[in-house]
Structure 1
Amino acid sequence: MKLITSKDNPLFKELKQLASSSQARRRAGQSLLDGVHLAQAWLQHRGAPQLCVVAESAQYHPEVAPILAQCEALQAQCLVLADKLYDAVSTVDNGVGLFLLVATPVASAPKALTESAVLLDGLQDPGNLGSILRSAAAAGVRQVFCSPGTVAAWSPKVLRAGMGAHFVLDIVEDADLVALCAASRIPLLATSSHAAQTIYDCDLSGPVAWLLGHEGQGVSAALQEAATQEVVIPHLGQMESLNVAAAAAVCLFEQLRQRTAGR
């Protein structure tokens, strides 16, 4: 493995730019997976990375060494950075000293919605998006469509919140949600505190698409109008509504419950 100790090394400069700039990552079509869990998940579901990078002091760490060996066995390029250089590139404070550089998976939007999906309209919080991706993956909903203006799905913060969910999903960014809704062959459900029907009274045994919106403004008027129906998550207490990630989890797992246990 090559050891890089100079900050003037061209590859180090390239890695530093990718780590610090979402635009650079988007132009290159690459993502950084920082930490043991994301690396293990990628290797399990997607195979070899483009590059495995470890801090010099982490080469023999008990969690890092097996991942490094697996990457070498897959003939992926492996690189060691002097600790100071690694710290300048890592997107995690006090991390274990390992990240993978991978080609960002690109999924294409279908001509029509025919299987369960999540449509996200303008979400801004990386933690919310990552949590929704994690819930979708756990509930067996594979397709996720993000409108323009939604936080970047492959940003380091969203990746950490997703905990590997990205690698088992088809994530389409900058999707035309209105066009998808117009071509949908399945029910389109939007949550609303003013709806009469609860999610527990709704037939979710077949494919459905969930419309979830901006944390403050909710789903846009155009998408709300495109929805087949509006549903409400009933709750007690004085809170007006749920966090969007919590609402998504409730909806997705009620759908899973109906599909697996019957209504």
Structure 2
Amino acid sequence: MAARIVLTYFLVPFLLSSTIVGYNSDEVMSWCSKTPNPQPCEYFLSHDHRNTPITHESDFLKISMQLALDRAMQGKVNTYSLGSKCRNGLEKAAWEDCLELYEDSILWLTKTTSSKCTDYDAQTWLSTALTNLETCRTGFTEFGMTDFILPLMSNNVSKLISNTLAINKVPYSEPSYKEGFPSWVRPGDRKLLQSSSPASQANIVVATDGSGNVKTIKEAIDAASKRSGSGRYVIYVKAGTYNENVEVGKKVKNVMFVGDGIGKTIVTGSKSAGGGTTTFKSATFGEYP
């Protein structure tokens, strides 16, 4: 389903005091002028109690990532407190999405602050976090409910993440392939994908006709979540039509789904914004926090 979404940015009003809590005001303005959204950068940087020295752009990048993370965590707390203010079921559904999406964004933003995170990884995680917040807003706009809860959620997180993306400045590079697969796909996984008999490689087989271990994909995911160990868990879904909206939780790690091919293994659902479900939750097959 395609929809034309109008996104509205909200900026919490604030005044810059002539007395700067941490950094020198000239230093703050100099660094923040390099970002697409200098105003929130100036405010939150000048009120950053850590006051970490900024000598190089790499220092500014780390601080910007941390500021975005701090503000996202506060945004989640603020969003949670708004639950009791939801006026109806549709607003409640959009609000619940936002809580999940904030949790997800915090996870990705936390990854960017790790010393093991490369610039390329950071660009991916930051982009994902920013997309999550846009998806949060989309839930309200889909239901035509942008007049009450959504303005109360305004907190500058999107602008701070956009600033960090601009500072990171990682150019796009064409992906590399090996044997027809992206280079990051390991040899063992390539063999598994190329196998002519996926059932023999599977940990569990799903079949609507009862010829497998379980009849629904959900049952297979539940089994995967209860397994011991962290090795690859292969779920083979035999040919058939599966009328279910599949949700894979983030705690279900290292799971691979293998079907019988296009037009044979079919997973279909009927959730939509028209039926009272946000697009975020209408996915036929999705991963959720």
Shorter-chain TM band: under 0.3
Q: Which has the higher strand share?
A: 1
Name the larger-Rg structure.
Answer: 2
Q: Which has the higher helix share?
A: 2
State the TM-score, normalizing by the size of structure 1: 0.28
Higher relative contact order (CA closer than 8 Å, sequence separation 6+): 1
TM-score (norm 2): 0.26
